[in-house]
């Protein structure tokens, strides 16, 4: 019997040893593990309900109670303000005393809102917003209806209220107070003495409102506030400039509220502030996407400042030199932003575009001509295209392209208005320089691809077709140059009908340019030049058959038609040859050509 039980006893002993080892292991693990709080046991008969499991009726009652509490609080605040207003209107309170009590009451509400924000109370926005709106309404009404507050004191109190609301926002990280304070201060300033406010004080108040709007975006992204305040600022200062010029509903610019000696300083102050706001916004964005406001502000600001100053001063030349200096400053800021060595050089094109706008507006006034500064603008365009490659900025490449298009359109506009130098050879030199510089820019942009990370060239203009604009600008300037040269030659040496000869010469120039472009396209296998040559040929054909055949006759008409016929024939042969070569390159290889597999493999290896 003991022999049969011995194996069983041995197994029991082994199990006891294993249990002992496991207990020791558990003790070691418990000693190493951090102490944890004991798990609270929930009594089995107690029902626990979460917030989501509460009855809908209770939630509706709670929300209704909170809403009624806020509404009742607002009503009590307004009752106190309206009661004070009734006592003042009925003469029970002196006007000055009632005004002082009302201002103190509004200030107390604003400060109470700050205290409620510190306690995280939901009543804080009601107190601060109600106090600010009451303050603005009391100040405006007291000044407009009773004129019992001096103008300087009024503007100081408006600015103080706006700044105080901004400080409450920053102290409590709440966006509503600074938004209400900025908009209220801005609108209250516009309302005072409308439509004839004292513009210097209004300009300074709007300048402060733009600064507060910039700081508001650091608490909450509210671009609409910045756009709104900027629009109001530009609109009111533009009215100021138009009134100074005497072109606003019969105004003669002699009103004492206009203060013409303040206009230029205020415009320069606001323009400089906008430039710094954009710069700080770009720096603050880091590697993130720049906001549309900061991106657009330098260009809008540059155009507005110059136009406002010119309207007010009635002398573009007076503001031309400061505008040119501002353009150089914009280019310098763009170079500094590019020196930070960030991808896509964020912000460079923002200030380059502002500098380009100031250059296009100021240089014609400095040179007293629209044509004389065009070569300098062409140099600027080529420089922008060059630095767009060095700074990896696709936006600057677009700006350079549009600047060349502007140069071409300005040249055409000057020709249509007969605005050209008295010396015809100076005109020829100007147009020739513009054509050559545009051609150099086109070759540079074709040799160097746009930056890989440019949104415009990766999403919109994937084939870089916009660069064709630079080539067309060069061709138009070249046509103007050759046309002006031929005109001078005909005037000097031709004794026959000048108009007939000149019109025929123009047709020869157009068709000759198409012929030359076709030869270059065939030689370089350039499809883009081929398409441009076909376009120029169509223009030459329309010139010959729709204008020359109606207005001229004789040998000059024969020359026009003959040159076009030669151009069309050569292009037809070239196009057919191009098409045949393209088809031969597209022919697929025969799949059964196994005899030449070894040769092909050797060629591939080579």
Query: Is residue 337 a contact partner of residue 347, using CB atoms and an 8 Å limit?
Result: yes
pLDDT at position 33, please? 57
SS3 content of the chain, % helix, strand, coil (to 5): 80, 0, 20
Mean pLDDT of 121-138: 88
Q: Who's near 301: CB < 8 A, 6+ residues apart?
A: 271, 274, 275, 278, 354
pLDDT at position 342, please? 63
Q: Who's near 180: CB < 8 A, 6+ residues apart?
A: 128, 129, 132, 133, 165
As a whole number of angstroms, the distance between CA 178 and CA 212 comes to: 7
The lowest-confidence range among 127-131, 188-192, 339-343, 396-400 is: 339-343
**Where does residue 226 rank: exposed (0-12), middle (13-18), buried (19+ CB within 10 A)?**
buried
DSSP 337: H
Q: What global pTM score does this model have?
A: 0.74
For helices 223-245 and 176-191, angle between their N-to-C axes, nearest 10 degrees:
10
As a whole number of angstroms, the distance between CA 596 and CA 593 comes to: 6
Q: Residue 4's pLDDT band (boundaries 50, 70, 90)?
A: very low
Q: Which of 224, 206, 309, 219 is nearest to 265 (CA)?
A: 309
Does residue 47 carry a pLDDT above 60?
no
The lowest-confidence range among 15-29, 247-261, 268-282, 361-375 is: 247-261
Q: Which long-range contacts (CB under 8 A, 24 or more apart) does 543-551 make?
A: 543/506, 543/507, 543/510, 544/507, 544/511, 547/503, 548/503, 548/504, 548/507, 551/503
For residues 318 and 370, which has the higher predicted lDDT (pLDDT)? Answer: 370
pLDDT at position 10, please? 67
Q: Residue 251's pLDDT band (boundaries 50, 70, 90)?
A: low
Tokens of 14: 């082994």
- pLDDT tens digits for range 480-529: 999 889 988 888 877 878 888 888 898 999 999 998 988 888 888 888 88
As a whole number of angstroms, the distance between CA 159 and CA 175 comes to: 18
Mean pLDDT of 434-463: 86
pLDDT at position 390, please? 86
Q: Residue 190's pLDDT band (boundaries 50, 70, 90)?
A: confident
The lowest-confidence range among 59-63, 91-95, 175-179, 215-219 is: 59-63
DSSP 260: G
């Amino acid at each position: 019997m003991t022999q049969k039980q011995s194996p069983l006893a041995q197994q029991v002993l082994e199990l006891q040893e294993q249990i002992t080892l496991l207990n020791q292991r558990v003790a070691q693990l418990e000693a190493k593990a951090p102490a944890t709080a004991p798990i609270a046991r929930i009594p089995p008969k107690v029902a626990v309900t979460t917030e989501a499991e509460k009855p809908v009726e209770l939630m509706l009652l709670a929300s209704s109670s909170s809403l009624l509490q806020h509404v009742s609080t607002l009503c009590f605040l307004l009752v106190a303000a309206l009661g004070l207003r009734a006592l003042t209107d009925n003469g029970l309170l002196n006007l000055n005393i009632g005004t002082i009590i009302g201002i103190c009451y509004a200030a107390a509400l604003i400060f109470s809102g700050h205290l409620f924000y510190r306690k995280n109370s939901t009543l804080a926005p009601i107190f601060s917003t109600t106090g600010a709106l009451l303050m603005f309404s009391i100040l405006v009404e007291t000044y407009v209806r009773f004129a019992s507050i001096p103008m300087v004191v009024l503007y100081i109190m408006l600015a103080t209220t706006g700044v105080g609301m901004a400080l409450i926002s920053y102290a409590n990280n709440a966006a509503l107070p600074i938004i209400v304070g900025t908009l209220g201060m801005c609108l209250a300033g516009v309302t005072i003495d409308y439509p004839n406010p004292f513009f210097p004080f209004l300009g300074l108040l709007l300048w402060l409102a733009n600064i507060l709007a910039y700081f508001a975006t650091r608490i909450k992204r509210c671009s609409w506030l910045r756009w709104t305040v900027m629009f109001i600022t530009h609109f009111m200062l533009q009215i100021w400039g138009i009134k100074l010029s005497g072109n606003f509903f019969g105004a003669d610019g002699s009103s004492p509220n206009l203060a013409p000696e303040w206009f230029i300083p205020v415009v320069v102050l606001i323009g400089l502030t906008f430039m710094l706001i954009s710069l700080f916004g770009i720096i603050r964005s880091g590697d993130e996407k720049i906001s549309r406001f900061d991106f657009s502000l330098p260009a809008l600001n540059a155009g507005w400042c110059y136009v406002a100053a010119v309207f007010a001063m009635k002398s573009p030349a007076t503001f031309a030199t400061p505008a040119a200096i501002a353009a150089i400053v914009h280019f310098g800021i763009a170079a500094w932003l590019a020196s930070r060595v960030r991808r896509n050089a964020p912000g460079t094109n923002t200030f380059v575009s502002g500098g380009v706008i100031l250059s296009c507006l100021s240089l014609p006034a400095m040179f007293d001509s629209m044509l004389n500064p065009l070569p300098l603008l062409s140099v600027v365009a080529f420089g922008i295209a060059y630095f767009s490659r060095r700074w990896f900025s696709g936006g600057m490449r677009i700006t350079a392209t549009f600047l060349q298009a502007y140069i071409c359109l300005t040249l055409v506009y000057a020709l249509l208005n007969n605005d050209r130098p008295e010396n015809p050879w100076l005109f020829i030199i100007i147009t020739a320089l513009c054509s050559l510089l545009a051609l150099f820019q086109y070759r540079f942009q074709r040799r160097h691809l746009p930056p890989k990370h440019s949104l415009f060239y990766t999403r919109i203009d994937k084939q870089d077709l916009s660069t064709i604009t630079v080539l067309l600008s060069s061709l138009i300037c070249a046509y103007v140059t050759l046309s002006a040269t031929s005109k001078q030659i005909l005037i000097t040496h031709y004794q026959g009908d000048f108009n007939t000869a000149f019109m025929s010469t123009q047709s020869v120039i157009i068709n000759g340019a198409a012929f030359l472009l076709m030869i270059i396209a065939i030689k370089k296998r350039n499809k883009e030049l081929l398409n441009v040559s076909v376009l120029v040929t169509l223009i030459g054909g329309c010139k010959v058959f729709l204008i020359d055949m109606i207005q001229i006759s004789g040998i000059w008409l024969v020359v026009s038609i003959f040159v076009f016929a030669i151009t069309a024939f050569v292009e037809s042969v070239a196009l057919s040859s191009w098409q045949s070569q393209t088809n031969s390159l597209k022919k697929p290889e025969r799949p059964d050509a196994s005899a030449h597999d070894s040769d092909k493999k050797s060629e591939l290896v080579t």
